Structure 1
Amino acid sequence: MTAKQGVILYGPPAAGKDTVTNALTELRSTYTQFERLKVGSGKSTGYRMGTAEQLRALEATDAVVYANSRYGNTYVIDAPGLDVAFAAGVPVVHLGQVDGIRALVNGYAADWTVVLLWCPREVTAQRSAGRGDSDTTARLSAWAATREDLDAHPNMVWDLTVDTQASSPQDAARLIDRLLAQRAGAATA
């Protein structure tokens, strides 16, 4: 039996997590972005909007795999949400913290492929402004925090690293898809 496969895309804001995920879903319909539970306000696309009461209920049953706060909101990766995502196919989880990767890999049984998507700070600034973000300054602060996070975890092992300034989203998606196929083949051999 092949283990269920998932993809973790790690990187700073505007590194291409959404764009690469879209390219993956265009490549194969089995890929789907995992919608984290978001408690707060602002952008709702790509999230399951929740309440503080829902978060407390998940915490009470140890169903929170990982939670972090940024931009005045709380973002939650929850076991029930992951169960639904895996039932639908291959979830693609977006993260910006190495601790989140470790919590997910260690806290939810699956064959996780961990991908570092990276771009320089000035590219994050250009992309953020280009897509009309009203909080580019906060996103640049998050870029710096991601850089510090990487520097603080020099032994972090990546299954794949993609420079999104140099590689197209479609090329990145093909590399990720190929890596998952190889891992699935190795698991069944």
Structure 2
Amino acid sequence: MPEHTLEFGKFGARGVRGSEAVFRRLDDLAGFIVSPVDSRRGLLARLHYLTRTDHARAAARAAGLTVTDRTLKAWLDGRRRPTAQNLRRIEDAYRTVRRHNVAQHLLRRLNSRGGTRVELHPLNQSQVPRPRQRVLEYRSLNIRRWDRIVEAWSTGDTEGLDDAWTDQIVDLGSQWGQYEYVTNVGFAA
């Protein structure tokens, strides 16, 4: 059984941790607002999402957006502009609340019909000297239970997501260590 990679990139290989690629893909599936938060349109869309209901306001406060109702109203009316620090807080709160809101829906879709097929694109070895290159191929596996992965993603627990992802790729057999770092992980929901 292979161990975790300790010195990734030592010989020039490039890629990202598989769990990080899964995190990004789940973010893509969550459908965040595309307009940047520092544009008027992006700011208003995020503020409307975070203040539409009492439940959304409570979730935004729990996620770190702790400004007064008066300040929120001034931002929504365009009388004041949030500082750069508050823009980051708004973006972080929005992403946290959005992940929480779509987690159950994504989980149902990913677990339906016996799970979801995942494609693993191997790491980039173009900068690795020839004698040190490994033969890697595209691999796919079917993940039947996404519960731990989606739970860790929705709470922003990158360590928990990495553990849950490693538990899944062990199903690749003795080659799972070759796919701990990848260029991309692809799946749909």
- Using the size of structure 1 for normalisation, the TM-score is 0.26
Larger radius of gyration: 2
What's the TM-score, normalizing by structure 2?
A: 0.26
More strand by share: 1
Q: Which has the higher helix share?
A: 2
